[in-house]
Chain A
């Protein structure tokens, strides 16, 4: 592997990617693989095994930055143990690591944040998705707005910078709910954020649970609120422009 061709950095420190666990047990409506056991079931590695890989990457390539692409690090009930072992490895090696990874808001605690900082985390990413309670309900995010705000407060208490991952275009989304998301971001002041337009991929509940309501139009309805999301039939062998583009200049395949 040509590690030298990797140019990713965390706080200016050269970094490589790692995956310490696979799978996410949650059922967010926009997320692919919720019906797929391979992607839904969490598969853990031991803390020792993960640290061994970190140390090997450091000793082999000299990198001290590690981006952990686990869906949510704190789904692992042993996250504090893992962080303590990562901190210990650095002490033993006489080196400082910098790490970055994803967290689930409602599971985040002060103890986790403290351990993560000690392990070398300075950045975390959290999929808050929305600043509107009804949209969080429609997503089946499991995190309420209060959970999200609390997670921001915990991160700030422990000097962890937060990239807020937001998305728009969920069932029930409106100008009002998008403005609520903007206002929540302005209130909690994350260090960075992005905002994604939802795409109804096969394998997401928004796709899989939709029914054809008009020829070529499929509608997902979240039963609890009755809010709906419509999507057009797409030939995924041929069509790619639904995926990314400049707003107003691409085909979204999500009708109003």
Chain B
């Protein structure tokens, strides 16, 4: 998931919707919440009462500030 999401973000940066975007969309459809990056603490956020679709713990800054909502 972390690698797919990293590839997806890079596609977005380049302004293309390629195979990473497809892979990411398919995973989004399969799960309620996706966790990317260091899941050691981020997984607790994913298991909590949240409307967050993606918990982005890829960036080592505090999880709450890197969480995105979609």
B-binding residues in A (CB < 8 A): 32-33, 35-39, 41, 43, 201-204, 207-209, 211-212, 218, 233, 235-237
B13, closest chain A residue (CB): A35
Q: How far is the CA of A211 from the CA of B23 in the complex (A)?
A: 16
Residue of A nearest to B57 (CB): A38
CB within 8 Å for A202 and B58 given contacts A35-B9, A38-B37 = no
Docked pose: A68 CA to B36 CA in angstroms = 25
**Chain B interface SS verdict (over half):** helix
A35 touches B10 (CB 8 A): yes
Pick the contact of A201: B3, B9, B10, B37 (CB < 8 A).
B3
Query: A-B contact count, CB below 8 Å?
Result: 66
- Do B7 and A237 touch across chains, with their CB atoms under 8 A apart? no
Q: B4's contact among A39, A43, A203, A233, by CB below 8 Å, is which?
A: A203
Contact A207/B7 with A36-B58, A237-B27 known, Cβ cut-off 8 Å? yes
28 A-B contacts (beta carbon < 8 Å): A32-B3, A33-B2, A35-B6, A35-B10, A36-B6, A37-B59, A37-B60, A38-B36, A38-B60, A39-B2, A43-B60, A202-B3, A202-B7, A202-B20, A202-B23, A203-B2, A203-B3, A207-B7, A208-B7, A208-B11, A212-B18, A212-B19, A218-B19, A233-B19, A235-B26, A236-B4, A237-B23, A237-B30
> What count of chain B residues pass the 8 Å CB interface test?
23
Q: Which single member of B6, B27, B60 contacts A208 (CB below 8 Å)?
A: B6
For residue A23, give the distance in angstroms from its CB to the closest CB of chain B.
9
Which residues of A have CB within 8 Å of B11? 208
Is B38 interfacial (CB-CB < 8 Å)? Answer: yes
Within B1-37, the residues touching A (CB, 8 Å) are: 2-4, 6-7, 9-11, 16, 18-20, 23, 26-27, 30, 36-37
Q: Cβ of A35 and Cβ of B7 under 8 Å apart? A: yes
Complexed CA–CA distance, A233 and B19 (Å): 7
User: In the bound complex, do residue A208 and residue B2 qualify as a contact, i.e. CB atoms below 8 Å apart?
Assistant: no
